[in-house]
Chain A
Amino acid sequence: DSGVTQTPKHLITATGQRVTLRCSPRSGDLSVYWYQQSLDQGLQFLIQYYNGEERAKGNILERFSAQQFPDLHSELNLSSLELGDSALYFCASSVEVQGSGYTFGSGTRLTVV
């Protein structure tokens, strides 16, 4: 167990629907990162939050949004889902120390049908 908790583990939904993925970071970590992993694109950075504020944005679609709450858990909202959004979505957390890596959760596997 890495200490980063992601729910749900699996999600199957239809095109056009909206889903919410949840992440609880490792105790003491203030930063949360969301990544998308698909077979053809590898791990793509979506967005980072630090202590409740958006810190960095990557290749995140406008249909996607995220937030980090006061208790530091984070949610990634995906709307108007398309078949191409099917992927593994990972959350990671870290302390803000130069040279530190991330700790990843086990991911949420999203299948859009």
Chain B
Amino acid sequence: QKEVEQDPGPLSVPEGAIVSLNCTYSNSAFQYFMWYRQYSRKGPELLMYTYSSGNKEDGRFTAQVDKSSKYISLFIRDSQPSDSATYLCAFKAAGNKLTFGGGTRVLVKP
């Protein structure tokens, strides 16, 4: 079993729709939960990070963590064509090494 599972997509949505992304993980030692956005040929950019179970909101982005189910989600409201990118979930246990999911490609169509 992979340590992190993430659907590669692509996930295609019309502009203005809600984008829903998720990852499951198996490592109970993961303490920090993050989402990165990566545009083509660019480095990943940190969007959200959370520590505890529950929701965290930042503008159009909401991150959810359910530690009991080992499941994290990212929601993007009022999606824009500029949100078209690959979204990577990332996890950190003790120490500072991040473990990434494979990424989900998102296409927001005008």
Q: Are B44 and A90 in contact (CB under 8 A)?
A: yes
Alpha-carbon distance between A91 and B51 when the two chains are bound, in angstroms: 24
Residues of B within 8 A of A94 (CB): 96
User: Of all chain A residues, which has the CB nearest B51?
Assistant: A99
Say whether B100 contacts A106, CB under 8 Å. Answer: no
Chain A residues with CB below 8 A from B102, complex form:
42
Shortest Cβ distance from B76 into chain A, in angstroms?
A: 18
- 16 A-B contacts (beta carbon < 8 Å): A33-B97, A42-B88, A45-B97, A45-B98, A55-B95, A90-B44, A94-B96, A99-B51, A101-B36, A101-B49, A101-B90, A104-B36, A105-B43, A106-B43, A107-B42, A107-B43
By a beta-carbon cutoff of 8 Å, the part of chain B in contact with chain A is 32, 34, 36, 41-46, 49, 51, 88, 90, 95-103
Name A residues whose Cβ lies closer than 8 Å to a Cβ of B.
2, 4, 31, 33, 42-43, 45, 48, 55-56, 58, 90, 92, 94, 96, 98-107, 109
